[in-house]
A and B are shown apart, each in its own frame.
Chain A
Amino acid sequence: MWTGIPLFPERASTMAGRVDALYLFLIVVAVFFSALIAGLIVYFAIKYRRRAPDSIGTGIHGSMLLEITWSVIPLLITMVIFVWGASVFFAMSRPPDETLNIYVVAKQWMWKFQHLDGQREINELHVPIGRPVKMIMTSEDVIHDFFVPAFRVKADVLPGRYTSVWFQPTKPGRYHLFCAEYCGTRHSGMVGQVVVMDPSEYQTWLSGGAPEGSLASAGAKLFADLACNTCHRPDAQGRGPVLEGLFGKTVTLQNGEMLVVDEAYVRESILMPSAKIASGFQPIMPTFQGLVTEEQLLELIEYVKSLQALPQVQTR
């Protein structure tokens, strides 16, 4: 009878099963308690219905034992749910070490994806199965939200900073991509498709077209065009820090704080160079706020990331 109405979205990521298991457990809890309360109410309403207009109920005032029981049992159940939910959440927010990174720039009202090899897509995202994929996301204007129901993942995409979300697709197919944070007039039009492909097909697709070369090479070109390379030189003779092998390392700032070089720090250092100066350097770098787009920023970041190649540099 209900064939026309699905109850679950497609399960197409490693996370989907875990989320659904928790969901089913909660449904069992919810159905049990709803049925219990509803059953008791209906039973009492019938059994103790008023038989004479002036009859009154029995003057029962309460029971400490019952109060404790129905405080403690729900508390225990909720704590189970909490721990379970927290463990799922940890898995969601901690990507594996080796991920396929894809950059996302959201704007009113479209999704722009940049693959490391240089492919750019709009409102369509191609990913292979079997590999954890991490989306590194930012917005050009207002808050958006990257939501793929089939993967059970969702994360807000904020202007001015990077958020990330990861998933590992398990099933080839085309899945909905929604913007799940209201973002203005054509919010419901800010939808797309995630195309999950077999690895071999994915390779074919990748080789299909990257006219401008890889993201990092675009970044390298930009790095030269913006004359970044006059100060950031590979030989420690420049006025700015050596960027080779920098990404992922811990640096000491002027004020003594330690900080891991991540996307957010590189971004901040380009847009607000004086905010967090590495120790031993002068705050002489000009800001590139307004001179580089979000997409170009990502190219620069990817270029900095790619500069891991120098010998003897310890990576993570």
Chain B
Amino acid sequence: MSELIQHPALAHHFDSLEQQKEASTLGMWVFLVTEVLFFGGLFATYLIYRNWYPDAFAAASHELDVTLGTINTVVLITSSLTMALAVHAAQLGQRRLLLIFLVATMTLGAVFLGIKSVEYYHKFAEHLIPGPGFQFEKEPVHVRHAQLFFSLYFVMTGLHALHMVIGIGIMFVMWWWSWRGTITAEYYSPIEISGLYWHFVDIVWIFLFPLLYLIGRHA
């Protein structure tokens, strides 16, 4: 039993590593619930305005680059795969593989952010930043409601990107811990719960992509 040999990672107030792992996993899940509701407020706002101004949203959405959006979706889903494989490697105690997959995940995350900043730069150059300088030359009738769309676009993708940045930071710490040897086949729950977070961020994008990029593309 665990009382005989105290594992170095076991905190004093837990009885066993088992209990500690269950607690931290549950903790991360509960945290993700708050994240769902956090983005939920944005999705509610989006839903209402898209329902009110479908044409303006379609027109504004046409300003986004589907190709870059699709590439980013692929990049992010691939990073989820590498994350899942990292957890797998951690479970089996394959330290070298674990390090490789963590680096892959971080790299893909960085690629995503890079592409995202290119897109942001384009929007900036095209005066599509909401506010006094906003211009919507293509369909001037939609200039006001297109601002709503772009306000939502920037806040939604911006907060998503912020979560990615934090995710990459977490991955870096995980890489450090794995490299140092803290992570073992017995104690890998940090990798697992970081993975939960990473996958969640992926899921947010899975919704953002069709909602923002793919409105009325046939027109």
Q: Is there any pair of Cβ atoms, one from A and one from B, under 8 angstroms apart in the complex?
A: yes
Assembled-state Cα–Cα distance A275/B142 (Å): 8
Interface size on A, as a range, is under 10
Assembled-state Cα–Cα distance A91/B217 (Å): 46
In whole Å, how far is B50's beta carbon from the nearest beta carbon of chain A? 14
Q: Which of A197-224 contact B (CB under 8 A)?
A: none
In whole Å, how far is B156's beta carbon from the nearest beta carbon of chain A? 24
Q: In chain B, what residue has the closest Cβ to A273?
A: B141
Assembled-state Cα–Cα distance A283/B141 (Å): 9
Contacts of B142 in A (CB 8 A): 274
Assembled-state Cα–Cα distance A287/B144 (Å): 11
Provide the main secondary structure of the chain A interface: loop
Interface size on B, as a range, is under 10
Provide the main secondary structure of the chain B interface: helix
Assembled-state Cα–Cα distance A289/B142 (Å): 13
Q: Which of A154-191 contact B (CB under 8 A)?
A: none
Assembled-state Cα–Cα distance A283/B142 (Å): 12
Q: In chain A, what residue has the closest Cβ to B52?
A: A275
Q: Which of B109-160 contact A (CB under 8 A)?
A: 141-142, 144
Encoded as 1 (CB less than 8 Å from any A CB) or 0, chain B from 54 to 67 comes to 01000000000000
Contacts of A289 in B (CB 8 A): 144
Contacts of B144 in A (CB 8 A): 272, 289
Assembled-state Cα–Cα distance A126/B55 (Å): 44
Q: In chain B, what residue has the closest Cβ to A283?
A: B141
Contacts of B141 in A (CB 8 A): 272-274, 283, 287
Assembled-state Cα–Cα distance A251/B53 (Å): 19
Assembled-state Cα–Cα distance A176/B67 (Å): 62
Question: Chain A residues in contact with chain B, CB under 8 A?
Answer: 272-275, 283, 287, 289
Question: Chain B residues in contact with chain A, CB under 8 A?
Answer: 53, 55, 141-142, 144
Known pairs A272-B141, A274-B55, A275-B53; list 7 more (Cβ under 8 Å).
A272-B144, A273-B141, A274-B141, A274-B142, A283-B141, A287-B141, A289-B144
**CB-based closest 10 A-B pairs:** A274-B141, A283-B141, A272-B144, A287-B141, A274-B142, A275-B53, A273-B141, A272-B141, A289-B144, A274-B55
